[in-house]
Amino acid sequence: MEIINRMTGGGFEQLVFCQDRETGLKAIVAIHDTTLGPALGGTRMWPYGSEEEAIVDVMRLARGMTYKAAVAGLSLGGGKAVIIGSPADKTETLLRAYGRFVDTLKGRYITAEDVGTCQWDMDVIHRETQHVTGCDPARGGGGDPSPFTARGVYNGIKAAVKKRYGTDSLNGLTVAVQGLGNVGYHLCRLLAGECARLVVTDINPKVLQKAAREFGAEAVATDGIYDSHCHVFAPCALGAVVNDETIEKFRCAIIAGAANNVLAEERHGDALRKRGILYVPDYVINAGGLINVADELYGYQRQRVDQRVAQIYNTVLDVLTVSEKEGIPTHRAADRLAEQRIKQAKMYKNSGQREVPMVG
């Protein structure tokens, strides 16, 4: 695997490998772009099948964070980290060793929770470094970002429904939610509150039973979710769910969910457009969690977070409007908006400005 060439081709600044023999820590930090500010992105803990698989994932996720921060109007760059291993094997000493590695980056990378990590983990990491967000609210942190991610996805779904159907009411619409983790379950609660009909799937049968009881959701097999007849398909588990095998299965009008890297490849976004399926780019719609943890850097204010998460509705409409006017797929329209902001930031820096202004 030609790592340096991959970094150069993708515009990456840094790829840092960390290991600690005593705790068994094996971690990778990817810093994609810090034009807008320090790289902020969560730490994912996952039992990757190989180091190459972990490298590919962390780089894809880090690039997505650059674009997510840019479109959300934050003065932050993009980064991500992965710890190779099962979340069941987490220990306090491993997390503290990881925190010490994060601290060596001196603020170029700021971490937060992600798949396989939680607020408690961030509190432990915080014992070794100040460069961490998503910590206990009692310590001035923003806490669990999942509800804010879910709220942003909910707002984005309403915007997409508005664009497709002329009204943003979800009453009577069917939404298929893939993955009932923290974000997916919060999203179901919001959708059910607006009388949407829910079709759900998850690898955990207990959470499916809970969703059926609480929301009247219809549970289907994990593979059956793709060809469920619905208005909106909301992927809220792992990424790459729009791929060669699934692309022809979808029976929905809109794809909009919380998962990162929903498209296995960019060409799958083109394929969705050809099929007439309105795709809301993942890093646009799922920015609520990032907005929440990023606010800690300015002195956490819940009201300010709520206002910025609500703005995701208008941001999604902006992306869909650019796509429609210019006749380009939605993922390319979103990339264009992000790249324009990064280009503007470089112009600010070249003109001697000390800091790029926040948007919104």
Q: Tens of pLDDT along 255-275?
A: 999 999 999 999 999 999 999
Q: Among residues 139, 222, 230, which one has the least CA distance to residue 180? A: 222
Beta strands in 162-277 (DSSP E): 174-178, 197-201, 218-219, 232-235, 254-255
Secondary structure element (H or E) that encloses residue 90, with its range: none
Mean of the pLDDT values across residues 241-252?
A: 97
Report which DSSP code applies to 65.
H
Q: Is 58 in contact with 6 (CB distance < 8 Å)?
A: no
Q: Is the pLDDT of residue 357 over 80?
A: no
* Helix, strand counts (H, E) of the chain: 13, 12
> Across the chain, what does the average pLDDT equal?
94
pLDDT for the residue numbered 360: 41
Could you tell me the CA-to-CA distances from 188 to 164, 174, 211, 340 in Å, in that order? 21, 11, 8, 34
Q: Among residues 153, 144, 77, which one has the least CA distance to residue 292? A: 144
pLDDT for the residue numbered 354: 55
Mean of the pLDDT values across residues 231-249?
A: 95
Q: Is 80 in contact with 30 (CB distance < 8 Å)?
A: yes
pLDDT for the residue numbered 106: 97
For residues 98 and 120, give the distance between their C-alpha atoms in angstroms, rounded to a whole number. Answer: 14
Q: Is 279 in contact with 331 (CB distance < 8 Å)?
A: yes
Q: Is the pLDDT of residue 349 over 90?
A: no
Q: Domains, the chain, ranges and CATH?
A: 3-60+79-139 (3.40.50.10860), 146-340 (3.40.50.720)
Q: Which residues are catalytic?
A: 80
Q: How many CA atoms lie within 13 A of 40 on its CB side?
A: 26
Question: For the chain, what percent of residues have pLDDT higher than 70?
Answer: 96
Tell me the pLDDT tens digit for each residue of 126-171: 999 999 999 988 877 888 899 999 999 999 999 999 999 999 999 9
Q: What is the pTM of this model?
A: 0.90
